Chains A and B, each alone.
Chain A
């Protein structure tokens, strides 16, 4: 089974609107961490946000927030007030406590922000 599933290969959003990028995960480890990365067309990987499995609050970093639903095993990224510069690939990733230094990435979602 896939550890990380991103079901939206591509998404469009109008500038200034909010968008949600889906991510579901599969693990039996009670302790794990979830990450989102942005990859612009230039290719670099940019860390956006982290959520720990025991964190009580949903993580937020500026315009990014993580909608963490543990029972559903989902960790959706919400980008508020989209900007043209948000157009990029977005990858969800996970690591488990048992294999603390091994990371699993999803297949990514390509977000296009329309003016």
Chain B
């Protein structure tokens, strides 16, 4: 069964460094999402992406964040200058057109030191 994949599973970085989190959505899906979940807290929507552009974004998704679909299969989230409070699990999800269900990837745990 097709699934969303994310790499790496765990990323450790120093404060101020740039990180890129990678996702491969399910191949025939058209809508892509990034969420984050700070340990023990709720899942927070960051951004949605459709037709090669941002569809919606939350207040969290400020100028230090960007998303890209560089090659038609990968979907990346870049954090330009990481802060301690960016430490969280980051989930990618994708959805097929006309279907309500989002399929989530296994997440990337980002630790900022």
> Which residues of A are at the interface with B, using a C-beta cutoff of 8 A?
33, 35, 37, 43-47, 50, 52, 91, 93, 99-108
Contacts and interface: CB of A to CB of B under 8 A. Distances in A.
Contact of A104 (B31, B45, B102, B103): B45
A91 B40 CA distance: 12
A115 to B, nearest CB: 25
B48 interface: yes
Contacts of B31: 101
B104 interface: yes
B75 interface: no
B45 A102 contact: yes
A105 B100 CA distance: 15
B100 A45 contact: no
13 contacts: A37-B104, A43-B89, A43-B106, A45-B43, A50-B100, A52-B100, A101-B33, A102-B45, A103-B35, A105-B43, A105-B45, A106-B42, A108-B43
Interface in B20-75: 31, 33, 35, 41-45, 48, 50, 55-58
Interface residues on B, range: 20 to 34
A43 B55 contact: no
Given A102-B58, A107-B41, A47 B33 contact: no
A45 B91 contact: yes
Contacts of B55: 100-101
Contact of A101 (B43, B50, B101): B50
Ranked 9 nearest A-B pairs via Cβ: A101-B48, A45-B104, A102-B56, A101-B55, A105-B43, A107-B42, A50-B100, A101-B56, A47-B101
B102 A47 contact: yes
B80 to A, nearest CB: 23
B43 A44 contact: no
B39 to A, nearest CB: 10
A106 B43 CA distance: 8
Nearest to B109: A43
